[in-house]
Amino acid sequence: MNLRDLIDGLLEISVVGSFSRPGYLARRALFGWADPGPGTLADRTVLITGPTSGLGRATAEAFAQAGARVILVGRNAARLQRVRGELIERTGEDRYPIVVADMSDLASVRAAVTEISRSESKLDVLVDNAGAIHEQRTETADGLEATFATMVAGPFALIDGLLPRLEASGDGRVISVVSGGMYLQPLPLDDLQFEQGDFNGTLAYARAKRASTALVREWSRRYQGRVRFFAMHPGWADTPGLAESLPGFYGFMGPLLRSPAEGADTIVWLATADPSEAPDGRLYLDRRPRPFDRIRSTRLSAAQRRLLWDRVVAMTDAPEASG
């Protein structure tokens, strides 16, 4: 092990050093990361869910600056238009179509799939970023708990519907944005909808992120060689979602939080990294694979991941995934 790997490993063990801004800056300096220059992604089409604030917005800006065509998918048309206008103003390019869709509503997701499939012959990158924390348990029109619907079922249906366009790329990639908070939470497969006990929005969020990570591993196993799947967590980033959901933590950690752009860095890197540098089916932080689990009791076995897959397929009636 060389000195750089040793320092990186020590940062990872410390958690605070790994997830914070100092950890990001230390790794960037250690490994001499390069960023894609203007126009280097001009041949890529990237779809981002939840692109109007926080990590999603920073991701959209980074891809646009690198020349990519960026499809902005969100539920608020006015906010999507505002982001689109700002991207056009910054780049001088009009390559940022918007698609209005609510990821918690399967009918809305299917309509988005139809719209995108009609307009796009291929899709190079799909960034599954949309998320939400709810104070109270609510169910969607599909009868799903809203957090799980937004962050697991909806993205699953979106990915499933767009698999033909991702395969048409020849190098299609799906990047699911998860959270380090999932490390502390097991995923109860007998209570995916949080029907048991008192509802906790932050806990539901962490469970949904753990489910997303497990599904990335299953997507990768089942579609190896056709589409590449990754999970990434951004560390502790200064986003509106963090400020609203964990105000105490946000206030205490404020000076150590990463900027949204720093949190989004690994997303952009995964979109272009060579397979030798970034094997798929893994969880990444700061451009390197990281453990799926830090606590043994939260670990899902291969059989449990398959069970989760089957249950989400049943919830979403996903034709590609069930085939």
Element (H, E) at 72: strand 69-74
User: Cβ(48)–Cβ(97) under 8 Å?
Assistant: no
CA distance 213 to 309: 11
Is 205 part of the annotated catalytic residue set?
A: yes
Going by DSSP bridges, is the β-strand pair 288-290/283-285 parallel, antiparallel, or unpaired? antiparallel
Burial class of residue 266 in the structure, from the number of CB atoms within 10 Å of its CB (0-12 exposed, 13-18 middle, 19+ buried): buried
Measured CA distances, 320 to 61, 112, 303 (Å): 31, 16, 20
Find all residues with CB under 8 Å of 237, minimum gap 6, and list them. Answer: 54, 55, 257, 258, 259, 260, 262, 263
User: Which among 96, 205, 250, 284 is annotated as catalytic?
Assistant: 205
* Residue 285 β-bridge partners: 288
Encoded tokens for 80: 């999507």
| DSSP, residue by residue, 101-147 | --TT-HHHHHHHHHHHHHH-S--SEEEE------SS--B-TTS-BHH
User: Cβ(227)–Cβ(172) under 8 Å?
Assistant: yes
Q: How many residues does the chain have?
A: 323
Residue with tokens 């043994």: 296
Give the residue numbers annotated as catalytic, written as ranges.
205
